[in-house]
Each structure stands twice: as structure tokens, then as C-alpha cells.
Amino acid sequence: MPQDRFLEQVHDLFGSARRTFADPAATQRVLPVIRADFALAEAYRPRADDVLHCPVTVLAGRGDASTDSAALAGWRTHTRRPCRMRTFPGDHLFLHTAAAGVLTTIEADLGASAAPAAPAGLTAVAGGRARVSPGHAAC
């Protein structure tokens, strides 16, 4: 893609970085990295058997023109565990504009993920004992 057209797309996606793109020297420094990022995103093809067995938290900027709620919800197919979606003020570079909220969310979700969960079909009971829920067999 010609550089002028590519830069137009980058400006649309990364509106919060207008100051960087106003500086031609800075633009030339970051352009190869951004091109590589786009190339990876375009070339990636997930395999059906690539499924995680851990919780997933999907983070996005509310003003990100590169995605939509359906694409974010699509991450649910990549895990057998809970999938949480969190959006923040900002565009594709929301990590820069909503850093405090992002860090708080990651900390909370990692803390929730670290809590031991009862195996499927078991319900925790006071005293550390577990009972089998109706309809589930114990292994």
C-alpha cells in the first residue's frame, strides 16, 4: 500500500497519536513498527484447535475504529473458561489514555482468576468438604 494511503489509515486508527504523526521524523521511526503490526494482524489465521483453558479478558478502546463489539465477543470462542470484555475511553491506543483503569482491571481479573475454583459439578460446602451437584458425576 502506498505510504500516503497507509498513513491516512493510521491517522484514522490512531487519532490520539496526532502529535506523533505531526512530526515527520517521529512518523518515520514508528512507521516500520506499525506496518509490521498490520502485516501480522492481516496474516494471522487462528486454528480451530487453538483453545485456551484459562480465563480471557478482552480489552478495547471504545473509539477504536479497527474493531467492533462482534469482533470483541468473538474472543469467547478461544477459551473454555470465562471471557470478560472491558472497554475504556480512547481509540486503538487506549492503553495510553486509560492506563490507570486498564491496570485496575487487569489486577482485578488476575486476582479473580487466581482464586481456586471448584471442579465442574462440585459445590463448595463449609468446612472444606464438597458435594456433587445433581446431574454431575464425581471422578
The Cα 103–Cα 129 span in angstroms is 35
pLDDT given at position 58? 94
Q: For residue range 74-129, list pLDDT tens digits in order.
A: 999 989 999 999 999 988 888 888 999 999 999 998 887 666 655 554 444 444 44
pLDDT given at position 49? 81
pLDDT of 65 > 80? The answer is: yes
Which amino acid makes up residue 42?
A: E
The Cα 133–Cα 110 span in angstroms is 27
**Closest by alpha carbon to 27, among 37, 15, 17, 40?**
17
Residue 94 · residue 15 · CB < 8 Å: no
Phi, psi of 93 (to 5 degrees): -100, 35
pLDDT given at position 115? 60
pLDDT given at position 19? 72
> Taking the model in full, what pTM does it have?
0.64
Q: For residue range 3-58, list pLDDT tens digits in order.
A: 778 877 777 777 666 777 788 888 888 888 888 988 888 898 878 788 999 999 99
pLDDT of 137 > 70? The answer is: no
pLDDT given at position 123? 45
Helix axes 24-43, 3-13, angle to 10 degrees: 80
Decide: helix, strand or coil at residue 17.
Answer: helix
Is the pLDDT higher at 130 or at 37? 37
Task: Give the Å distances, CA to CA, from 82 to 29, 79, 110.
Answer: 39, 7, 12
